[in-house]
Amino acid sequence: MKATPVSDNLIQLNRLGVVNAFLVREDDGFTLVDTTLSGNAGAIVEAAGAAGLPIVRIALTHAHGDHIGSLDALAAALPDAEVLISSRDAILLSGDKTMQEGERGEVKGGFPGAKTKPTRTIEGGERVGSLEAIATPGHTPGHLAFLDTRDRTLYCGDVFSTLFGVYTSARANPLFPLPYFATWDKEIELESAIELRTHEPAALAPGHGPVNIDALEQMDDAIAQSAEVAAKK
Ligand SMILES: [Zn+2]
């Protein structure tokens, strides 16, 4: 696990160069955004300890295995930490892939589920410390992004990825197509990417790829290219 301080409020935790979690500094401790793959709880707790604060909250963007993989071990190690996820992805987190009323198609990608239940479910518009949750369905039905209202860093989960270029998950990056193949509904995903752009993030902190400062232009390009793909269908 590689821990990289990006700003005063943010430490990026990266596994194998591919999967991110983030420690977001708050007055009372860290909010951990996502947990990466299984087997990383010890390294995540250690990274927080090395930075001098406990993890007091775990906020999950969505229930895919590469984001919730270390949740059970973290919850065991941090019994007082809050665990937050949308009510929709909480169902997926419980291992239930049943589609809900009004949803088309089927969810894609790996949902190993977890024993851990959220201590609280959250929806778009609600706050998690300095973070504002933004409903961003598409990659999964209950995907959330988190905007740090102090510095406008956007924890965008898998709405955008920045590994080998900035892409929405509505269009396959030939060098890293995983987020695309694991996306439930490309049309809704593109709408969520457009929604996130309207929040004018100062930095993009995605589930996969480096933290991109000044990413607005690249977000515009990624959205335009995704829209082109959608229009051809
Ligand atoms: Zn995902």
Spell out the residues 6+ positions from residue 162 whose beta carbon is closer than 8 angstroms to its own.
Answer: 204, 206, 208, 209, 210, 211, 212, 215, 218
The predicted structure's pLDDT at residue 116: 98
CA 158 / ligand 1 centre spacing (Å):
5
CA distance 54 to 57: 9
The predicted structure's pLDDT at residue 15: 87
CA distance 46 to 77: 11
The predicted structure's pLDDT at residue 232: 82
Tens place of pLDDT per residue across the chain (233 aa)? 899 999 999 999 998 889 999 999 999 999 999 999 999 999 999 999 999 999 999 999 999 999 999 999 999 999 999 999 999 999 999 999 999 999 999 999 999 999 999 999 999 999 999 999 999 999 999 999 999 999 999 999 999 999 999 999 999 999 999 999 999 999 999 999 999 999 999 999 999 999 998 899 999 999 999 999 888 87
CA 190 / ligand 1 centre spacing (Å):
15
CA 139 / ligand 1 centre spacing (Å):
7
- The DSSP result for 156-180, as a single string, is EETSEE-TTS-EETTS--TT--HHH
The predicted structure's pLDDT at residue 144: 98
CA 198, 215, 156: angle at the middle one, nearest 5? 65
Backbone φ, ψ for residue 32 (5° rounding):
-90, 120
CA 68 / ligand 1 centre spacing (Å):
10
CA distance 19 to 4: 13
CA 147 / ligand 1 centre spacing (Å):
18
CA 49 / ligand 1 centre spacing (Å):
27
CA 64 / ligand 1 centre spacing (Å):
5
The predicted structure's pLDDT at residue 218: 96
CA 38 / ligand 1 centre spacing (Å):
14
